């Protein structure tokens, strides 16, 4: 049995999502800021007529934020039944992780609950990859607040 992971980076960290959790991968688009949103929420994008809230994964996971550049991507996924975009530094492909490389569940190894974001640490060749479960990125309460803010009428952009 193998686990297909969409491999991406957040700064120096190699991460992955189960490929079935990602609906599509987009280049960075114009992001409209949301007033009074948490610091990790960059704003919303218009994706084929749907307003999609966008989270900066570096900020959400507590990593040093960086400027957006050409390699940055937005991963479209579902968070508690709501579509959202997750900004990552770079997508580097799909990894097939075999059973023998499944690594550890950090919570089991350390006898503590570390599943806030990282569900497993796996080996891919010589590298370690943190497997992130999208369901852990926002609490259900944050998701409800996030979805309500994204559906609220937005102020008109300047210059139009």
d(CA 147, CA 79): 10
pLDDT at 115 over 70: no
pLDDT band at 34 (very low <50, low <70, confident <90, very high): confident
Dihedral pair phi/psi, residue 12, rounded to 5°: -80, 0
Look at residue 130 in the predicted model and tell me its pLDDT. Answer: 86
Helices within 41-154 (DSSP H only): 57-60, 106-110, 140-151
Tokens of 11: 């700064």
Average pLDDT of the chain, as a whole number: 80
pLDDT, tens digit, 9 for 90 and up, residues 49-107: 999 999 999 998 888 888 899 999 999 998 888 889 999 999 999 988 776 556 555 54
Let me know: does 42 contact 55? Beta carbons within 8 Å: yes
Q: Which residue has the tokens 């998701």?
A: 143
Let me know: does 11 contact 4? Beta carbons within 8 Å: no
Look at residue 139 in the predicted model and tell me its pLDDT. Answer: 72
Third-level CATH fold of 2-151:
OB fold (Dihydrolipoamide Acetyltransferase, E2P) (2.40.50)
Nearest to 14 by CA among 99, 120, 109: 120
Predicted TM-score (pTM) above 0.95: no
Please give the sequence-ordered ranges of beta strands (E in DSSP) within 67-144, or none if there are none: 73-79, 82-88, 90-98, 118-124, 127-132
More confident residue, 148 or 50: 50
Look at residue 159 in the predicted model and tell me its pLDDT. Answer: 42
Average pLDDT over residues 119-130: 80
Q: Where are the domains of the chain?
A: 2-151
Let me know: does 24 contact 33? Beta carbons within 8 Å: no
């Amino acid at each position: 049995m193998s686990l297909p992971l969409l491999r991406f980076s957040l700064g120096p960290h190699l991460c992955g999502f189960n490929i079935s959790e990602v609906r599509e991968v987009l280049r960075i688009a114009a992001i409209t800021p949301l007033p009074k949103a948490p610091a990790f929420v960059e704003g919303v994008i218009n994706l084929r007529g749907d307003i999609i809230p966008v989270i900066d994964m570096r900020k959400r996971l507590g990593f040093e934020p960086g400027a957006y550049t050409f390699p940055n991507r937005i991963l479209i996924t579902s968070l508690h039944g709501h579509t959202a975009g997750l900004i990552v530094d770079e997508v580097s492909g799909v990894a097939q992780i075999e059973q023998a490389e499944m690594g550890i569940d950090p919570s089991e190894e350390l006898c503590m609950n570390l599943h806030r974001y990282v569900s497993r640490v796996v080996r891919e060749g010589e590298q370690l990859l943190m497997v992130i479960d999208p369901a852990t990125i926002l609490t259900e309460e944050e998701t409800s607040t996030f979805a309500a803010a994204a559906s609220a009428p937005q102020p008109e952009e300047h210059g139009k």
